[in-house]
Amino acid sequence: MAEREQLEDALKLLYDALDSGETVRSADLPVSAELVAAELARDAGDGTLALTDAGREYALQVIRAHRLYETYLAHRTGHPADEWHRQAHAVEHTLDAEAVEDIARALGDPLYDPHGDPIPTADGQLPPPRGCGLSERPVGWAGRIIHVEDEPPELYQVLAQAGFAPDVRLRIEATGTDGTTVRVAGHTVTLSAGQAALVQCDGLRPDEVFDASVIRLRDLREGETAEVVSISPLVRGLARSRLLDLGVVPGSVLTIALRGPGGQPVAYLIRGATIALREEQTERIMIRRRAASEAA
């Protein structure tokens, strides 16, 4: 198993590098000789490696397994987003073709994983690319996140904590030497150049608008009334089902009922019931304040 894992990791690395227009020297890849012997790669004649057709097909199969398993973790389990990549990497090397296709069918044959990465089809085709980088958009532009790169993990964690995820809407507020400032997930955040480079966006759909009045539930104050707008796409699986079961659905009206010792958790009155939510949950629930006349 260790030999298979090492070989498949090398194939993915080679595929990603070549797909990005980079070169990989044979001397820099410990298993280059094994890849060549297996006819998965070939010497390009200048000390660099190229993938054979068989190598490209194999690499796409491994990528398909990885991204499908990440999608499974996101939609069918309670594992947090920062664990998806690590767990998928451990499992991808153990799945055979039949198991991969079983997962694909169970998920409805998705085209993109939870980060927005395209999932290769069973016959090695890739869905079309979408959007462009966040840093390429002008101030005032509003759109939808379609991809958040999950590597390096330390940068991805910062973005996920701030609410960046596929299908989340944002608006560019300012750009400058300090970075790119955006309104996203109910608050305003400034990204470094490195963080912004991990985010790919596309335009809003014809029936969509960017609503700057949307805030996070954690920002609701005592005495205010609000209605639920959405739950962040970062909340998936069992955690999402739990919130929906508690009545946290679009249009539900809520107010703060009481706070626990030290301010947490906070209890909310919603649909005639009182529910207690932790701060990390209230960061992922988007609301819109209601005027006193609407609350009456």
| Four-CA torsion 135, 138, 144, 148, nearest 10 degrees | 0
The pTM (predicted TM-score) of the whole model is 0.76
Tell me if 132-203 shares its fold with 215-295. yes
Q: Is-contact 184 162, C-beta < 8 A?
A: yes
Q: Calculate the average pLDDT of the chain.
A: 91
Distance between CA 193 and CA 129 in Å, rounded? 22
When the candidates are 3.40.50.1950, 2.10.77.10, 2.40.40.20, 2.30.30.90, the CATH number that belongs to 215-295 is 2.30.30.90
Class of domain 1-127: mainly alpha
When the candidates are 2.30.30.90, 1.20.58.740, 3.40.50.970, 3.40.50.10470, the CATH number that belongs to 132-203 is 2.30.30.90
3 state DSSP class of 107: coil
pLDDT tens across 135-175, in order? 889 999 999 999 998 888 888 889 999 999 999 999 999 99
* pLDDT of the chain, 296 residues: tens digit per residue: 558 899 999 999 999 999 888 999 998 888 999 999 999 999 887 889 999 999 999 999 999 999 999 999 988 887 877 788 889 999 999 999 999 999 999 999 999 998 888 999 999 999 887 888 888 899 999 999 999 988 888 888 899 999 999 999 999 999 998 899 999 999 999 999 999 999 999 999 999 999 999 999 999 999 999 999 999 998 888 889 999 999 999 999 999 999 888 888 999 999 999 999 999 999 999 999 998 656 54
